[in-house]
Structure formats: C-alpha cells, structure tokens
C-alpha cells in the first residue's frame, strides 16, 4: 500500500466547492488508496449522492465497503439508491441500528456486518466501534492510519469530537493528526467551541477539516485557530490524508 495515495473525497455536504455539484444536508465521503475503497455514509438522498459521484468521476462499482456512522437519515438516506446501482458491497453498521436498515441492505444484495466493538475494515482502516456520548446517540467513526499517524473521519461526532480523538489515540497508539467530517457543534456556544478547539490542539491534532453539522461559526473558529493547517471541507474537496501524515513524519524526523 502506497500510503501517500490515501485520500478522502467529500461527496455530500451542505456546501460545495464548485458549480455542477449539489449541496444538501447530510454527509458522505469516499476513502481511496487502501486495499479497499470505502464509502463512509451515504448522505440524505440517493439522487444527490449519485449525481455528485458522477460529477466527481467516482464510479459506484469501485466501492468495496459502505460504512454507516449512525442511523440518522442524513447519513443513510442514499443507501438504497446506491445499492440499486452497485449491490456488490459489504455494509458495516452498528448493532444498535434499526433492523430495517440491515434488512433492506440484504434485500438490495449487499452483505451486512454489525459492529459493536472496534473492528478492522481493511489494512489501514478501522472502526472505533460503537461510542455513546451525552446525547445517547450511538455512532462509529472511521480511523485511517499509517505508521506516520492517524486521521479520524466522523459523520456527526455525536459522542464528542474530543472523545473520538481520545478513543483513536488509545486504539492505535499513534498520534491523531487529521480530523475530517461533521463535529456537531452548530448548537454550541463560542466558548464551548473554543474549549474544544484548544483541547484538540493539546491532543496534537494538526489539521482540521470540519463540515456538515459543525456549523458556520464553529468552522470559522477552527479556521482562525488552525490557520494554514485548516482544511476547507465541502462536497468536492479532496483531502490528501496520506501526504499530510507523511509531512508530519518528515517534520518529526527533521527536528
């Protein structure tokens, strides 16, 4: 595996980077460069998901695994239409998901694996397993890791983005250097967001790419705090995770 090729492409978000892509409330991204290609979440509806994939030159049949972060419609709504186009995938969902999501996936021709504990998806990709925060919403996040460090991809981070990063560090015994996805901060006060950003920096998170439910004001707070290591994240954004992790390793070796 050439880890420098590891990328995350945002397919579905409420903001876009260019004309031709459609915005809608929800989240989906594609992970490429590992031994398996992973679709993480499917957005809120199939037509938007599939149109954006086509616009970005992403072939649904290249996807090997679908990982659903949690059971909310804006992360699972595109699944049925995706499976109509390409059913030859394995869908990873939490044990706590409603039965119909797994049943519908099987009816659509997909394999289904239910997750509760941390689970290896393929070389370099691991689910955190089920996490639950103060909201009581069960969610799994995706860990992408190399010898150089870890990137965390979250759907909404309902259990807390800080708690998710702490879990990732414990699981991998590596530095979490990149965080990508929805951080569910759109209802948080500015003081709360400041504390969260500060704690993430204390934990060693070097690059931040908030989107979806993070909220415009929180996204701006991350941009102010991270400066040149803030990563704009909208539908159409391609985040070179492998190269970022290698940069961090090169910086450490040069110190």
Q: What are the mean pLDDT values of the chain's consecutive 10-residue runs (255 residues total)? A: 83 96 98 97 98 98 98 98 97 96 96 97 97 92 95 97 97 96 95 97 97 97 97 98 88 70
Q: Which domains does the chain have, with CATH numbers?
A: 3-254 (3.60.15.10)
Q: What is the pTM of this model?
A: 0.96
Please give the Cα distance from 12 to 50 (Å, whole number).
Answer: 10
Rg (CA), the chain: 17
The confidence score (pLDDT) of residue 242 equals: 95
């Amino acid at each position: 595996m050439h880890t420098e090729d590891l990328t995350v492409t945002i397919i579905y978000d409420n903001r876009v980077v260019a004309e031709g892509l459609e915005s809608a409330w929800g989240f989906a991204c594609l992970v490429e460069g590992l031994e398996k290609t992973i679709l993480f979440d499917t957005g809120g509806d199939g037509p938007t998901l599939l149109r954006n994939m086509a616009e970005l030159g992403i072939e649904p049949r290249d996807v090997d695994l679908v990982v659903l972060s949690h059971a909310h419609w804006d992360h699972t709504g595109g699944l049925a239409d995706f499976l109509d186009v390409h059913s030859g995938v394995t869908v990873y969902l939490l044990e706590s998901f409603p039965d119909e999501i797994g049943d519908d996936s099987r009816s659509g021709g997909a394999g289904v694996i239910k997750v509760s504990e941390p689970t290896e998806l393929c070389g370099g990709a691991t689910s955190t397993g089920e996490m639950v925060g103060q909201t009581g919403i069960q969610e799994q996040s995706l860990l992408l890791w190399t010898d150089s460090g870890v990137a965390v991809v979250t759907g909404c981070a309902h259990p807390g983005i800080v708690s998710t990063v702490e879990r990732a560090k414990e699981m991998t015994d590596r530095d979490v250097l990149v965080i990508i996805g929805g951080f569910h901060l759109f209802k948080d006060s500015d003081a709360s967001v400041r504390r969260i950003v500060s704690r993430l920096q204390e934990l060693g998170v070097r690059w931040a790419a908030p989107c979806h439910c993070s909220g415009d004001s929180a996204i701006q707070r991350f941009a102010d705090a991270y400066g040149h290591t803030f990563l704009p994240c909208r539908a159409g954004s391609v985040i070179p995770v492998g190269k970022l992790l290698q940069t961090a390793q090169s910086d450490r070796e040069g110190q």
